[in-house]
Structure 1
Amino acid sequence: MPVATACPIALTAAERVRLKKMAYGYKIEHRLRVRAQIVLHAARGRSNARIARETGLHLDTVRAWRGRFAHGGLPALADRKRSGRPACFTPLQIAEAKALACQLPAETGVPLSRWSCPELAREAMQRGTATFVSASTMRRWLAEDALKPWQHRSWIFITDPCFRTRAERVLDLYARTWEGQALGEDEYVISADEKTSIQARCRCHPTLAPGQARAMRVNHTYGRGGALAYLAAYDVHRARVFGRCEPRTGIDPFTGLGNIGTAVGAENDHGS
């Protein structure tokens, strides 16, 4: 049988640069790297047999990709569209499953507080939506529309009749105004909170530093130093956080926290 003549390959400067990036880029898919290397070898005038021998590929593989590039250029090195496996579920079945996920379980008579993918798949099969559907398939359907029925967010209804008046005061302070007048440079707005009953503990033996093939060692036993309260505040307009530990909470520790914030703010303003 006559031997098929190898397709001649002539590259432009742009094609050569692109092919080199594909052939030697470490982030390029392996299959694209192999195809680019075949074309670069072919552009040097090498035969298909030599290319197959040097790259360790089958001769038919080299011949196929060389021919595809010769007739289609760089776009021909990409995979052709495949029909793929026939769809197992109709668009109507998928829409019904998504509609089920958008309902509360109590509305469907299921004794659950919220849906999970296995429970949705089980309920869909019981309703006859599909003969069989797996939890992973249900999860993939929901991900298409960013549906996460297993998550929830709580909220409260505002019942305070004076909410508007109190909220306006807070919002005005955030806007650096009070009773219609702008705040001065020496006036501060802080948002404070406290954390109580923090156990003060100290290790009975010092912690050992890590070494070669050894993690840091922390002694298990500790001594109790009582309970402390941590007061922290956020300077709204200067974006500073400060805090301190106190043996107990109350108006005096809170006042001391405010004094610390004022001193820190004045010091930073003076230093800047």
Structure 2
Amino acid sequence: MPVVAARPIALRAGERERLKKMAYGHKTEYRLRMRAQVVLHAARGRSNARIARATGLHLDTVRCWRGRFAERGLAGLSDRERSGRPPSYTPLQVAEAKALACRLPAETGVPLARWSCPELAAELTARGITGPVSASTVGRWLRDDALKPWQHRSWIFITDPDFRAKAQRVLDLYARTWQGIPLAEDEYVISADEKTSVQARCRCHPTLAPGQARAMRVNHTYGRGGALAYLAAYDVHQATVFGRCEATTGIVPFMALVTQVMSLAPYASAKRVFWIVDNGSSHRGKKAADRLTAAFPNAVMVHTPVHASWLNQVEIYFSVVQRKVVTPNDFTDLAQVRDRLRDFENRYNATAQPFRWKFTTTNLDDLLARLDRHTADHPQQSSVVLTA
């Protein structure tokens, strides 16, 4: 019986490079790595028997992949499509499962707050939509459309009828504009707020530093060492923080913060200093604005819209403090909390750069347009129609 001659293999430079990456790449699947090695050996003119001995593969396997590459090139090294096992569930059943996942459980009469894969699988079976189905199968269906019904995010609908006007004033100040006129060099923008209830939790056992293959360990049990309020004023364009700790929040502590800032250069002699604040009780309404102007005639209070503290840049600084200073909370007493916050201010001011604020009036108009469409579709959810 005649012996079939091995198929000759000739590689182009690009093919050789790709095959080498496949054959010796650490992340290449084993099957693809072995197929690439077979082709590289064949390109050197070696026989199938010699390649089989070198790679440990069966002679028929070597012959197969050598021939597949000779016929189709690199595409021939991929697996051919296989019919596989027939699907156990129809596309209609999968679609109904996804539709159920996109409805609130309460709307379907199920006493759950949100769906999970096991609960969805049980409900699909109970409704007769499918036969017995596993939670992992349901999870695979949901992943195809990036559905995660077990997750939730809270939100609040805008109720301030003057939202756009108030928000635009704040955004214009971030862009160094007030009432359509650019700010002068001696005009400044301060973002201020309070971080309430910064606790001193005295751990019952010392915190252990991280080690090899071990995270930092913080004892769960603690004694309460009291709490304080941290007030901060952030110069938006200079990236400078002025902070103070008080026993509580209120008008007096807030005005103490204002006095601390306004008594310093360059704010004391500035033409105007704009104070951006939210609608907290310490600085709410026209009375607070009048009180500020009476104490410092060059100070102008600008309120964010109701329920829009996210427009206040000092909240970004507070999030940095929460991540880097307060968490995990492990202090011996309130004096240590004050010292840590004061030292962090100095550290932050030494290297801080202004926040790269990207939310502009254009984004604001887009947001309000989306809310208008939502309000038009669901008028019962809001009594306020926003106009951009």
TM over 0.5: yes
**Cα distance per residue 1:220-272 (max 9 Å; x no partner):** 9999875433223433334x2524342334134422553599669x999xxxx
Moved more, 170-179 or 40-49: 170-179
Query: Which is further off, 54-63 or 201-210?
Result: 201-210
Cα separation, 2, equivalents of 1:158 and 1:28: 52
Q: Distance in 1 between matches of 2:236 and 2:226?
A: 32
* SS of aligned partner of 1:246: strand
Distance in 2, Cα, partners of 1:217 & 1:127: 47
- d(CA) in 2 for partners of 1:161 and 1:129? 46
1:231–1:257 CA contact under 8 A, matched in 2 = no
* 1:105 lines up with 2:105 in the alignment: yes
TM-fit CA distance, 1:130 = 0.4
Structure 1 letter corresponding to 2:241: F
Does the 8 Å contact 1:232/1:241 carry over to 2?
Answer: no
Tell me the equivalent position of 1:134: 134
Distance change (3 Å), C-alpha of 1:260 and 1:38: farther
* Structure 2 partner of 1:88: 88
Structure 1 pair 226/16, CA: closer, same or farther in 2 (3 Å)? Answer: closer
Identity in percent: 73
Tell me the distance in 1 between the aligned counterparts of 2:219 and 2:138.
48
**CA contact 1:9–1:42 (8 Å) conserved in 2:** yes
- Counterpart in the other structure of 2:246: 247
The 1-side partners of 2:214 and 2:151 are apart by 41
Counterpart AA for 2:176: R
Letter matched to residue 245 of structure 2: E
AA aligned opposite 1:255: V
1:55-70, aligned counterparts within 5 Å? 55-70=55-70
**Equivalent AA in structure 1 for residue 128 of structure 2:** G
Match for residue 75 of structure 1?
75
Return the alpha-carbon distance in structure 2 between the equivalents of residues 81 and 108 of structure 1.
40
Instruction: For structure 1, list consecutive stretches of 5 or more residues without a partner in the other structure.
Output: none
What CA distance in whole angstroms lies between the structure 1 residues aligned with 2:35 and 2:90? 37
TM-score, scaled relative to structure 2: 0.57
- Equivalent residue for 2:45? 45
Task: Report the counterpart of residue 196 of structure 2 in structure 1.
Answer: 196
8 A contact 1:117–1:138 mirrored in 2: yes
Q: Distance in 1 between matches of 2:173 and 2:237?
A: 10
Segment of structure 1 superposing worse, 189-198 or 103-112: 189-198
CA contact (8 A) 1:189 1:237 kept: yes
Q: 1:115: how far off?
A: 1.6
Structure with greater contact order relative to length (CA < 8 Å, sep ≥ 6): 2
Letter in 1 for 2:192: A
Superposed counterparts of 1:169-208, under 5 Å? 169-200=169-200
Write the deviation string for residues 76-109 of structure 1: whole angstroms up to 9, x where unpaired.
Answer: 1111111222111111111111111122212211
Tell me by how many angstroms 1:10 deviates: 2.7
Structure 1 letter corresponding to 2:32: L
Task: Note if contact 2:244-2:257 (Cα within 8 Å) is conserved in structure 1.
Answer: no
Secondary structure, counterpart of 1:131 in structure 2: coil
Q: Give the TM-score of the pair, scaled to structure 1.
A: 0.78
User: Who is 2:17 aligned against?
Assistant: 17
Distance 1:184-1:76 versus aligned 2 partners, 3 A rule: same
* C-alpha contact 1:227 1:247 (8 A) present in aligned 2: no
CA distance in 1, matches of 2:254, 2:127: 62
Quote the offset at 1:129 in angstroms. Answer: 0.7
| 1:153, distance to aligned residue in structure 2 (A) | 2.9
* CA distance in 1: counterparts of 2:105 and 2:37, whole angstroms: 57
> Aligned partners of 2:104, 2:222: CA distance in 1, in Å?
49
Q: 1:60 to 1:223 in 2, by over 3 A?
A: same
- Tell me what 2:346 maps to: none
Deviation at 1:40, TM superposition (A): 1.6
- Decide which moves more: 10-19 or 201-210: 201-210
**CA 204–169 in structure 1, closer or farther in 2 if over 3 Å, else same:** same
Pair 1:47–1:192, CA change in 2 (3 A): same
Q: How many residues align?
A: 266
Determine the C-alpha separation between the residues in 1 that align with 2:156 and 2:204.
46
Kindly tell me: are residues 41 and 158 of structure 1, through their superposed partners in 2, closer, same or farther at Cα, counting changes over 3 Å? closer
> 1:73, 1:42 → 2: CA distance?
13
The verdict on how the C-alpha distance between 1:2 and 1:53 changes in structure 2, with shifts beyond 3 A counting, is same
User: What letter corresponds to residue 243 of structure 2 in structure 1?
Assistant: R
Change (3 A) 1:211 1:63: closer
